[in-house]
Structure 1
Amino acid sequence: MKTIYVGQLCHGSTALHRLWALQQLGCQVYAIDTTLPFGRYGRTNRFKRLMLSIAFRTNQFVDWKRVDSNLHRLSKNDKWDILWVDKGQQLDPQTLRLFKARQPQAKLVNYSPDDMFNPVNQTVRWTLGIPLYDLHVSTKTYNIPELIHAGAKDALFVGNAYEPTIHKPYDLTPEEVKRLGSDIVFIGASEMERDQSIEYLASRGLKIALFGNGSAWNRYENLYPNVSIHPGFIVDANYAKALCASKIALGFLRKQNRDLQTTRSIEVPACGVFMLAERTQEHLALFKEGEEAEFFASNEELFNKARYYLDHPAKRETIANAGRQRCIISGYSNAERLQPVLKYLSSNKS
């Protein structure tokens, strides 16, 4: 299928992994990268952050990457089967209308790994565009009925996924283990509930490595010598190596997004790393508790299980290996997750 793919295609972006998956599945892909000039993972000065915030809230966007104009141009040329838009908060709805008018045979797909009914993820442009897509794809089960209620023509749930060329076990050097590793690792951003859980573990002496940005974490190194802070984003193989260097990887869920699972829920076990994550029905459906992953519902249970599995390495490694096998056997890779989407598009060509 001839496909135009619109999304943030910088290294570390799961949108790039989905593009690779579509290519693996046989799609001829023309890519339009929406990554801002100052980079998704680069440092952004205050002025740029302010301008971006104003743009999202007022619907007044600078088309940094000329996405709308590129789509106008491409809609005049060739014949396209799919226009795939990853989130697309900045895309002008009029561009979607024009593209569909010029390419009536093309299927317009909107994919999002985020809770798009969390106000911080929405823009006026995205909301106005909801009924213009032929299909919305979401990794959030609760977004499916919300999308239909908001006017979506159709909506499809797909589970989170991993990229096999990146999320896999790594043989690390002793230097890498020393630099990146700890007993427990968390990679992500600060959030109140997460910070409370991390401090609960730290105050009880567990060794923790934190990768990411968290203002609350800055004081941990002074308070807890057992906590190491690695500020900034870590992506791709470095992300996977940071997981593999530690014994237990924490799987926190973002409350603001109403998460029941995240990409980390799949990426951690895919790396062959023991995952200790928040207990939800979706997590329990993905991995057997006590056999393929472990889960917790309170800080006390989190600490008790972390302490137990640190003291029982054989059990921990057995569960970690089983979790990776579950990812492979159950088809949690990006390509396998996206196969049903392409099947849907092929069977709904009219």
Structure 2
Amino acid sequence: MVKKSILILGSFSSGALELQYAKNLKAQGWLVKCMDIQEPVNLIKNKNLLTKSIHFVYPSAYYEDLNKVILKEAALFKPVVILIFKGMELFPETVEELKNHCKFLCNYNPDHPFEFYSKGAGNSNVEKSIKFFDTYFSYSNSICEKLKNSYGIDSFCIPFGYDAQLLPIKKHESFITDQFLFIGAWDKEREHNIKKLADIDLQVYGPEIWAKKLRFKKQIKYHSKPLYEQKYADACLNAGGILNFLRPQNILEQSHNMRTFEVPGYSGLLISERTEEQLSFFEEDKEAVYFSEIEELKQKLKYYASNRSSAAKIKDSALKRSLKSNYSYKHRAELLTTFISNQID
């Protein structure tokens, strides 16, 4: 029997956070309808250089039709709950109008909602819409406190997690087994840090720009193949360790990112920049490896490269901690729905 209905607005590409919540809410018995609010815009803006230039100067021109479609769909569906992920494509007036088509309007923002540290992290639509939500969910406790203090809005922290249904498979591929991997997008700071590791056996997975940036670093092997879902989980298990360079906001907030839970949850060795939140989730040198400076990272990589049994013990302890502490998205979705149910029942 269908308990409640929910309309989820966000991105549904491979690896998207929205997919985890949609899947787990369906498993709980919710009637779930998903609308992609990024793909329709990307299809138009990426046609050619002219459309990209117009979007850069006046992005709202690509949002107008989308906002009309969303309002029409919400009016027809009449969900109990509307959950928006970030919402850069939604006008504030659209968000305000959506309140008339549901009982509870909420947002889960995987970035900072009003301090934008990089392109694509947010825009004025996101910041100006904050006040219209009944509750604003964030992965970070510090962001929740800022939302309450600066905007007077109800906020609730739900950390990132991992997909417990993805079971990693032991493989024997030479480019993964026992190698240290970095999996992620390029930016200048990450490039700077990775180039300092040129004397370490390191494999990099990510967009093609990495091939250009690392072309003179022969010790660092670049792979163009994307690692999502099963392949990503397999890599975590089989690799000697997964490097995690946090974004500037994560360092400032002393928070975490999606990889914080994915790597240990998929039986991997998390090697991450040290923050207060991560230390609370996984104990240092027992359930995860942390560093603050590149020289410290180098020392730890060299140590675990020659002490595989120590790394294996940490992997095992990290997975046990993930299971014991309910870090999966199944449990994250339960936190979300318990909170919402308490508000609307």
TM range (shorter): 0.7 to 0.9
2:290 to 270, 292, 295: 295
**Secondary structure at the residue paired with 1:222?**
coil
- Alpha-carbon shift at residue 44 of structure 1 (Å): 7.8
Measure the CA separation in 2 of the matches of 1:107 and 1:275. Answer: 37
1:325 aligns with 2:288: no
C-alpha RMSD of matched pairs (Å): 2.6
Query: Are 2:68 and 1:74 aligned?
Result: no
2:25 is matched with which residue?
22
TM-score by length of 1: 0.86
Paired with 2:95 and 2:41, the residues of 1 have a C-alpha distance of 26
Which one is further off, 329-338 or 208-217? 208-217
The whole-number CA distance in structure 2 between the counterparts of 1:102 and 1:198 is 48
1:55 to partner: Cα distance? 4.2
What is the one-letter code of the residue matched to 2:231? N
Residue of structure 2 in register with 1:226 after alignment: 219
The residue that corresponds to 2:155 in the other structure is 155
Moved more, 144-153 or 312-321: 144-153
Following TM superposition, by how much is the alpha carbon of 1:290 offset from its aligned partner in structure 2, in angstroms? 1.2
Aligned partners of 1:129, 1:4: CA distance in 2, in Å?
A: 18
* Counterpart secondary structure, 1:171: coil
1:47-66 matched pairs, under 5 angstroms:
47-56=50-59, 60-63=60-63
Q: Residue 25 of structure 1 contacts residue 335 of structure 1 at CA under 8 Å; is this kept in 2?
A: no
For 1:220 and 1:125, the matched residues in 2 are separated by 36
Residue 201 of structure 2 corresponds to which residue in structure 1? Answer: 207
Summarize the Cα distance change of 1:230–1:55 in structure 2 as closer, same or farther, 3 Å threshold: farther
**TM-fit CA distance, 1:312:** 0.9
Q: In 2, distance between residues paired with 1:87 and 1:152?
A: 18
Aligned mate of 2:241, from 245, 248, 252: 248
Letter aligned with residue 84 of structure 1: L
Paired residues for 1:1-350 under 5 Å: 1-37=4-40, 46-56=49-59, 60-63=60-63, 67-77=66-76, 79-103=78-102, 106-119=103-116, 120=119, 121-151=121-151, 153-166=153-166, 168-172=167-171, 174=172, 177-181=173-177, 183-202=179-198, 205-213=199-207, 215=209, 218-223=212-217, 225-231=218-224, 233-256=226-249, 258=252, 260-349=255-344
> Offset at 1:128?
2.0
Distance 1:318 1:349 in 2: 45
Q: Which amino acid aligns with 1:207?
A: D
Say which SS state the counterpart of residue 295 (structure 1) adopts: strand
Question: Which deviates the most, 70-79 or 21-30?
Answer: 70-79
Give the share of equivalent positions with the same residue, in percent.
Answer: 23
Q: For structure 2, which runs of at least 5 residues remain unmatched after alignment?
A: none
User: Normalization by structure 2: what TM-score?
Assistant: 0.87
Would you say the 8 A contact 2:191–2:213 is kept in 1? Answer: no
SS in 1 for 2:107: strand
Cα distance, 1:229 vs structure 2 = 0.9
Residue 37 of structure 1, CA deviation: 4.5
* Structure 1 residue 11 displacement after superposition: 1.8
Asked if the contact 2:81/2:104 (under 8 Å) is kept, the reply is: yes
Structure 1 segments of 4+ aligned residues over 6 angstroms from their partners: none
The Cα shift of 1:139 comes to 0.7
Structure 1 pair 318–44 and aligned structure 2 pair: CA distance change class (3 A) = farther
On the 8 A contact 2:40/2:66 being kept in 1, the answer is: no
Q: Which amino acid aligns with 2:37?
A: T
CA deviation string 1:186-236 (max 9, x = no partner): 01123344333322221xx3111111137566343433x321112474322
**5+ residue gaps, structure 1:** none
Evaluate the alpha carbon distance shift between residue 233 and residue 255 of structure 1 in structure 2; reply closer, same or farther with a 3 A threshold. farther
Contact 1:182/1:209 (CA < 8 Å) preserved in 2?
A: no
- In the aligned structure 2, how far is the partner of 1:48 from the partner of 1:246? 41
Query: Quick one: distance in 2 between partners of 1:70 and 1:114?
Result: 25
Q: In 2, are the aligned partners of 1:10 and 1:35 still within 8 Å (CA)?
A: no
Q: Which amino acid aligns with 1:229?
A: Y
Contact 1:6 1:32 in 2 (8 A): yes
Cα distance in structure 2, aligned partners of 1:234 and 1:335: 22
